[in-house]
Structure 1
Amino acid sequence: MANRQGYDVVVDVDAGGDLGHTDLQEDNLEFHNSTFDNPSSRAKSSQQSSFLTPQPNPTAASTSSKRYLWSIAFYQQFFDVSTTQIAHRCRSVLYPRANFLDILEGNPDLYGPFWIATTVVVILFLTGTISQYLAETGKEHSAYDFKLLSGAAGLVYGYTIFVPLGLWGVLKWFGSESANLVECWALYGYANLIWIPVALVSWSNLSALNYAFVGVGFAFSAVFLFRNLFPVVSATDKKTSQILLVIVIALHAGLAIAIKVLFFAHASPLAKGTPASGIPDPMGDAGKGGDGRLMF
């Protein structure tokens, strides 16, 4: 009973070593407060049991912390993700059943967003080129316009990097403690996944059909962003959160319009020889071969 109440029993043995004789009536039975539940004692015991474990050097720790941002290990943690995790996160975007930030489980990555954005850039370039080729059928020459590639890279990478960065900065400005920059990048990066199937089917010369595909892609990704950003943005006051959500949807609509106009419109402003008005550029033929277009 003494042990259950938090006491230790200490029995003194006489000098003769007679273990069979214990006089409980004498002063040989003493009670001491138990230190079993004392955190400091457990910490000391754990340190003693792990004395074979090398202890960190305080000087080395302080030096490494100063150079932590400049070490590869700092950025490696954002790419430490398995193929299974990336596939699961991509499925969660296409078939959303839970909040995507909960799917991340506090371990957002930049590996998936980087390769998704890169895939979108390449597919936009290829399908935009096919769209222009179909529009120029019957002409003597057709060309790969590498301005489409640079335009796709600037649009997709710029939107995926700077819009989440700006949103995170605004949330921090208004005192939101739940905003995380890497989570914002991961959220926007995985949201770009919907543009891959949209780009694959939007190369036809039917403008109305292309508008429909881009509209579906915008609606799907906008709902995805709204659903996952709403709990984060709601950390601010009601008026501020409403304004931020409107700005988020407006910027995403701008991305969808830019994708349609720059890559799936036959009079793309990115094509030097084809102005947006549809009137052929008289200097277009003279500039072929020297403006980054590869003729075949």
Structure 2
Amino acid sequence: MATVDDLKFHEFDDAANLLAANPDAVTISIDEPAEKPKTKHGHLQDSGREEDDELLGTDDSDKTELLAGQKKSAPFWTFEYYQTFFDVDTYQVLDRIKGSVFPVPGKNFVRLYIRSNPDLYGPFWICATLVFAIAISGNLSKFFIHLGKPDFHYVPEFRKVSIAATAIYAYAWLVPLALWGFLMWRNSKVVNIVSYSFLEIVCVYGYSLFIYIPTAILWIIPQKALRWVLVVFALCLSGSVLVMTFWPAVRDDNRRIAVATIVTVVLLNALLAVGCLAYFFDAPELDLVMPTTTLPQNVTIRAIKEQ
């Protein structure tokens, strides 16, 4: 019975005879591993896939859990369900703020920053900061305009905080809700329309409002021309984020509907900015003049008769 050593010896003997007969012949040993090219090729494929996942903002572990059905969301009445909406670090928030202030032409804000981990932390605090920035700046603007007038008595208007909060949070939540419903309706009509989740749309609107925070602070300067230049500049940046995000979602729809949708998005954004500027800063203020006391006519006549 032939052993393994005998087989190897016969293989070596046959190879030696073949080389002696044909020096140009090439021999291949059965012991050489043939998996190196495949492993290298597989490594290249994995690296390319990792680069694609990094650009798309996905993660292998999350994808594996989703495919396996192991990643389940908590019920909506639990605290864990809403905790996931605030699971974001400072670097992600700053990166998304930077992306909203410096929009890149041709880049989708949702796919580039939001889709990997949409959050409510950034939009909530951006809206809250904008509310106080507009209310405080509006009061300071009124104070500086009437500074030095002896008949003016400054009284802080705290109602501006509630008015600003109502306007900004209604814009940041109700407009995305209406837009999300509209896109869902059009998605049932047109197959090629890109769909966004409600949370992604809220993120876009929330982060697009960040540019109005420094703008509202600069509105304290009592120069109407400068204020309108600032509001136009902020509108261009905030509106460009919205247009570059939602145009790919409606461009395959009917041309008139697509254009009307984008125009409506831009007009609502402009209405918020111009409305805040006109109400909190450029509203005509009535000078508070101390009323002069006048005696009734009959009292004056009686005093003259007594003299």
Q: If the length of structure 2 is used for normalisation, what is the TM-score? A: 0.64
Cα distance in structure 2, aligned partners of 1:167 and 1:215: 24
In the TM superposition, residue 251 of structure 1 has moved relative to its aligned partner by 0.8
Aligned counterpart for 2:110 among listed residues 97, 101, 123: 101
- C-alpha separation in 1, matches of 2:157 and 2:290: 16
Provide the residue aligned with 2:15 in structure 1: none
Q: Would you say 1:202 and 2:209 are equivalent positions? A: no
Partner of 2:81: 74
Q: Relative to 1, partners in 2 of residues 1:216 and 1:171: Cα closer, same or farther, differing over 3 Å? A: same
Could you report, residue by residue, the CA deviation over 1:5-40 in whole angstroms, capped at 9, with x for unpaired residues? xxxxxxxxxxxxxxx8xxxxxxxxxxxxxxxxxxxx
Q: Aligned residue for 2:243?
A: 226
Letter in 2 for 1:100: F
| 2:174 pairs with 1:162 | yes
Amino acid at match of 1:108: P
What CA distance in whole angstroms lies between the structure 1 residues aligned with 2:102 and 2:270?
22
Report the Cα offset of residue 159 of structure 1: 0.5
Q: CA deviation at 1:101?
A: 0.8
- 1:255 matched to 2:262: no
Q: CA deviation at 1:164?
A: 0.8
For the 8 Å contact 1:215–1:256, the answer to whether it is kept is no
Match of 2:133 in 1: 123
- Aligned partners of 1:135 and 1:266 also within 8 Å: no
Whose Rg is larger? 2
SS at 1:193 equivalent: coil
CA contact (8 A) 2:176 2:198 kept: yes
Q: Percent identity?
A: 32
Q: CA deviation at 1:106?
A: 3.1
Distance 2:115 2:175 in 1: 23
For residue 89 of structure 1, what is the amino acid of its counterpart? Answer: R
Structure 1 111/235 Cα, relative in aligned 2: closer, same or farther at 3 Å?
A: farther
Q: Which amino acid aligns with 1:264?
A: F
Whole-angstrom distance in 1 between the partners of 2:177 and 2:276 = 21
* Segment drifting more, 119-128 vs 224-233: 224-233
Alignment correspondent of 1:172: 184
Give the partner amino acid of 1:116.
I
Whole-angstrom CA distance in 2 between matches of 1:92 and 1:223: 11
Q: CA deviation at 1:96?
A: 2.2
Classify 1:143/1:174 alpha carbon distance in 2 versus 1 (closer, same or farther; 3 Å). same
Residues 96-136 of structure 1: per-residue CA shift (max 9 Å, x gap): 23321122233211100100111111111111111111222
Instruction: Name the CA distance, whole Å, in 2 between partners of 1:73 and 1:283.
Output: 58
RMSD in angstroms over aligned alpha carbons?
2.6
Contact kept? 1:121, 1:152, Cα under 8 Å = yes
> Quick check: which one's strand share is greater?
1
Match of 1:212 in 2: 229
* Distance apart, 1:281 and its partner CA: 7.8
**Residue type matched to 1:143 in 2?**
V
Matches within 5 A, 1:25-36: none
Name the structure with the higher helix share: 2
Counterparts in 2 of 1:75 and 1:154: CA distance versus 1, 3 Å: same
Unaligned runs of 5+ in 2: 4-69, 188-192, 292-307
Q: Please report the TM-score for the alignment, with normalisation by the length of structure 1.
A: 0.66
AA at the equivalent of 1:128: G
Number of residue pairs the alignment of both structures matches: 215
